[in-house]
Amino acid sequence: MTTAFYEAEGEIGHVVLNRPDRLNAINGALLADLDRAFATANADPQTRAIIFRGNGRAFCSGDDLKEFDIQSQNADTIQRHIHAIQEITHRIMRSDKPVVGAVQGYAVGGGFEWMLNCDLVVAADDLVAFFPETEWGHFVTGGVTHLLPRAIGHLRAMELLMLGERQTADALHRMGLLNRVVAGPDLLDTARGLAAAICRKSAFSISRLKRTLHQDLGSELWRALDIEERITLEAFANPEADARVQKFLDTKKPRA
């Protein structure tokens, strides 16, 4: 089964996470499939706007901790995994095509970070988003160390990143991190409506607007991605992370 795919719908392209049985948790296969899906969407001349969404009950529940041993086998596998995560941010943010996130259920860790990379975000009212990295001894990715303080201020960003508290759709909307909050059944239609409205605008103007706004983020964003990658590599190699992840997994095992 393809763990992420691209499909065209007229001028709207869909990039879809497709591990619903694992709440679209991130593993190596998903990263490779997602990279191909975004590459195809960005190269498709018919596609004017992209909807980024997840199949099933969640958008993306973050790293698949059941595969932590595979991801952290050695320095090379860790680096490839982390670099592949950061490359998705490049695919989203360096594309001339606007990306509309359509998120529901869980957007955790890397899933939350990818959501924040989108140009517009529509959320179902059941959305729960948080950063678990400090709990697991990991480190955030997706450029959020640069993007989040700019979006909501230094103190609030530190609170979200350090404490890792669960945030509802309404709370995120009040912070200015979501454009719309809708009932679950209306999520995809609302995202389609925003994407369709974009498609009716000038493709030249939209692409240059996105490019200019992202240039305004400056080289600091790309520098932040590099720093996050380096620190996350250190975190994965730290024995504390392995112990914390194992402790978390132990709490999830069914009791006899």
Residue 160: which CATH number? 3.90.226.10
Q: Is residue 24 part of a domain?
A: yes
What is the distance between the alpha carbons of residues 161 and 142, in angstroms, rounded to a whole number? 13
Q: What is the mean pLDDT of each run of 10 residues along the chain (256 residues)?
A: 96 98 96 98 97 98 81 78 94 95 98 98 98 93 96 98 98 98 98 98 95 79 91 82 70 56
Q: Are the C-beta atoms of 177 and 121 separated by less than 8 Å?
A: yes
Of 7, 87, 133, 229, the active-site residue reads 133
Question: Any catalytic annotation for residue 113?
Answer: yes
pLDDT of residue 67: 74
Q: What is the pTM of this model?
A: 0.93
Spot the catalytic one: 9, 67, 113, 229. 113
Tell whether 129 is covered by a domain: yes
Question: Structural domain tally of the chain?
Answer: 1
Q: How far apart are CA 209 and CA 193, in angstroms?
A: 20
Neighbours of 118 (CB within 10 A): 20
Give the distance, in angstroms, between the CA of residue 218 and the centroid of all CA atoms in the same chain: 20
Check residue 233 and give its pLDDT.
Answer: 86
Give which of 127, 1, 158 is closest to 53, Cα–Cα: 127
In a domain, 37, yes or no: yes
Model pLDDT, residue 226:
93
Nearest to 119 by CA among 102, 100, 135, 103: 100
- 57 part of a folded domain: yes
Within 8 A by CB and 6+ apart from 148, the residues are: 116, 157, 160, 161
Structural domain that includes position 90: 4-185+202-252
Residue 194 domain flag: no
Can you give the pLDDT at residue 75? 75
Distances, alpha carbon 150 to alpha carbons 24, 96, 186, 230, in Å = 28, 22, 30, 22
220 assigned to active site = no
What per-residue confidence (pLDDT) applies to 252? 65
In Å, what is the CA distance from 240 to each residue of 25, 108, 110?
A: 22, 21, 20
160 located within any domain: yes
Q: Tell whether 192 is covered by a domain.
A: no
Is residue 196 a part of any domain in this protein?
Answer: no
